[in-house]
Structure formats: C-alpha cells, structure tokens
Structure 1
C-alpha cells in the first residue's frame, strides 16, 4: 500500500485579510491587507467557528470575477488565533481528497474495496461514497473536523440534525446482509492527533454515534496538511467513541 500523496491545490491565489464580523452563517466581512478595503465574503463552512473567528484574525480569501455570484470573495483558510495553525474553511475539499484517494486505492482503511461511485442514495439519505467487494457493498460518509482543543479534534462544532440522521441510517445499513458502513472524519488542520465527539455541543449526535459503533459502523479519521498552496491528505489518526 503506497503512502497517500493526494494533494489538491487552491485554484486561485490567496489574499490575506483580517476578519471583521460574521453577519450570518454564510457571509463574512473582512478587511483586505493589500488595499485596506472591507469586503463581503462568502463563507462555505456553516459551523460556528467561534474559537477561530475573532476580530482581527488572519483569514485568506480567493477572488472570483463572476457576475453570477453575489460575492466576489470566498473564505479559504483561517489562521487559528491561539496556535497560528492554518485551518481550511473549504467544506468540499475533504470529499475531493477522499474521492481521489479512493479511486487510486491509496487508503489502507479501504484497500480491499473497489470504488463504485461518489454520492449515492439509500433509504431517505444521500451518502458520500459507495464501495464494493465481491457481493458486498460499503457506504462511506465523510465528516469535516475543524474544532480543536489540546490536540484533540471534536465533531460536531454545532448541533447537526442532518449528521445525526446520517449516523442513524448508517447504523441501519450496517445491519443489512451484504452491507457495511463507515464514517471517516477528515481533519482540516494538522495539529489534531485524535478525534472525539463533542458531546457537550450535540449529545444526541454523540449518542447516535455510540450506537452506530456498537452496530458495526467503522469509525475512522485522517489528518491533513494545510499550506497556502493547497491541502494534502495525511495519515490515519484514532477516534475515541463512547459506547
């Protein structure tokens, strides 16, 4: 099994700015370092991110000259004001990294499984990946982790009814003949050595994950390396689940 080398570059140059305020889940206001102008910014990560988005925090933006967009700027990275680590704000990047790595058979967690498709519907939910092995199938759901305390990554950083529903349905899938299920946490920062459930934020999700684990759902995690050029998928890290 080769060491994963999957890298996804950021398609546009990044511009450093300072965070001013967040008007709603998807809109920020930031002051550009090179012009001093305060601009309206699209925020792809709807999480709370209260530990990251402080007034004056360094944030890296990309510019999009498009008339079809409501904002010309997008938030790409933020520098943790406490640790100065870069944290990705691109919620689609983890799935892209996993997609490429699965197609190249670079993930030891799934080395005996073949890639079938990305995004498939089973029951009333859509899941990220479908893998196959002989007459068996594996449903894989990817979750992004940005919340970190003392080297431990926590998920979720806000109550997630959708995430809880996914976990519940994966537990049901794992009980079916010929089916398996897996949750893969992808840490969008390099300073996380293990992942735990943020049960003080969403106790219902924590309980659902514990039940899923008992029902045979595989729960795994991967670290990432973040640079100003892009994002690398890195090594496996442990997940602690309370039964």
Structure 2
C-alpha cells in the first residue's frame, strides 16, 4: 500500500498530549520549512515511549480538510539508533488486512471471504466478518502492534479495557456452532520474530487472550515491511501465549 501523499522528515520535539506531536522539519529537500516548529496529529494513542524520543525522525504528511486543527499528520517514525521504520497510524492495520482479505492473500484464513467490515454485533463494533462456503461466520479482530523488545512484539503497550472486553466476547462467539472467531496481531514494523501479550503491562488482557485461545479463538500474527514509500503486509509471525489456568 503506497503512501499517496508526500512525506516530510522531521525531528520529534515533544508530545503535549495523546494525539499531538510537536516536530521540527529536518528535510534538506524542503528548505522552506527549516527552523519551523509544526504540530501534527498522532493517529496512534498508545504510549510509544520507546519510539518517540526527542530528536528521533518522524515523517509527516500534510493534512487534508479545512476542519483540521493541525496542518500535519504523523505517518512513520524511525526506531532510535536504528534504520527500522514503524507506522504510527493504527488505522493502517485494518486497511492492510482489508486489502489482503479482498485479494485472498492471508493464507492462514484460506477458505474465508470478506463479508463486511466495521459492523456492530451485540454491544460491540467489530473489524471484519468473514464467511465460508458452508455458510459459517468468522469474527476477526485486528490489533496493531508497535512495541517491540528484543525482536518480540508486545501487545498492548498500555492497559486496554476495550481490548480485553473484545477478546472476552470473541471467546463467547467462538463457542457457537455456526460462528468462529480470530484475533490477528499485526506488527506495523519488520523487526519482529515473535508476538506475545504484554502481561506486565496488562495482565487482564493477557489472561483473557489465553482463555479465548482455550475456547477455540484462533490467534495469529503478521508483520509489515515499512519504507518511506509504502507499507506492505509481511510474513506470518508465531504467537506465544503464557500458560493458562
């Protein structure tokens, strides 16, 4: 999935709140922005404290729409002291998966076809509903992973009551005769060899994920290949779950 807008390289200064960055343009091809400080919307509300370190590179795009409070949106950042790029847009995960489902590119979901996206069921809103030739349904939730430690992707990077609730509800869905459920953890970076729940950060989510797997919820992992030109779906990544009760 190529980036349709031109990206501008900046240096991260500070994060005044969850959804706002202040950056200093640092792109030699754009001298007209030199010595400015710009504010950019951050589409990822996670902590990102291991990534957003003052002085790190952040790539921005100009925002579209007259109602925006900021003229810029954050797109990518570079892992400090490394060349690895990380997507800062959590919505990109669902867009990549939607495209992959349409093209039948997710081999781990062979036999399933996309029926609808972003739909309501019960008291929750879900990412994708898939169907197969036997008329069965599969509820698929996608979780964006940005936190990586020693090539292990960890989710979440902050406590997520909503995430725990979703996983708990998926466990109930998977218990039906005609419905199945799955969670796909998508690391929006390429330096990942394994994905696991971040038990130290959110033990409740980890426990709910283990219980969901025990009831039949399929737990899958993928990583992405990220450059300043595009982000692409990468290969499968194994999932490790702590022992259950």
Give TM-score, length-normalised by structure 2.
0.94
Secondary structure of the structure 2 residue equivalent to 1:240: coil
Q: Tell me whether 1:40 sits opposite 2:45 in the alignment.
A: no
Instruction: Out of 125-134 and 138-147, give the one that drifted further.
Output: 125-134
Secondary structure of the structure 1 residue equivalent to 2:45: coil
CA 67–135 in structure 1, closer or farther in 2 if over 3 Å, else same: closer
Runs of 4+ in 1 over 3 A off after TM superposition: none
Greater relative CO, 1 or 2 (CA 8 Å, sep 6+): 1
Q: Tell me whether 1:129 sits opposite 2:122 in the alignment.
A: no
Cα offset for 1:82?
Answer: 3.6
Q: Map 1:171-186 to 2 at 5 A.
A: 171-186=171-186
Query: Equivalent residue for 2:18?
Result: 25
More strand by share: 1
Cα offset for 1:66?
Answer: 3.5
Instruction: Out of 170-179 and 33-42, give the one that drifted further.
Output: 33-42
Cα displacement string for residues 177-234 of structure 1 (whole angstroms, at most 9, x for unaligned residues): 2110000011100000110110000011011101001111000011110010110001
Query: Equivalent residue for 1:15?
Result: 8
Cα displacement string for residues 53-104 of structure 1 (whole angstroms, at most 9, x for unaligned residues): 1111111011125421100011100000043310000111111111011111
Report the Cα distance in structure 2 between the residues aligned to 1:171 and 1:151, rounded to whole angstroms.
Answer: 29
Give TM-score, length-normalised by structure 1.
0.95
Instruction: Structure 2 unaligned segments of length 5 or more: list them.
Output: none
Query: Equivalent residue for 2:101?
Result: 102
Cα displacement string for residues 161-188 of structure 1 (whole angstroms, at most 9, x for unaligned residues): 1111110000110011211000001110
Q: Tell me whether 1:225 sits opposite 2:225 in the alignment.
A: yes
Report the Cα distance in structure 1 between the residues aligned to 2:25 and 2:59, rounded to whole angstroms.
Answer: 9
RMSD of Structure 2 on Structure 1 (CA): 1.0
Query: Equivalent residue for 1:209?
Result: 209
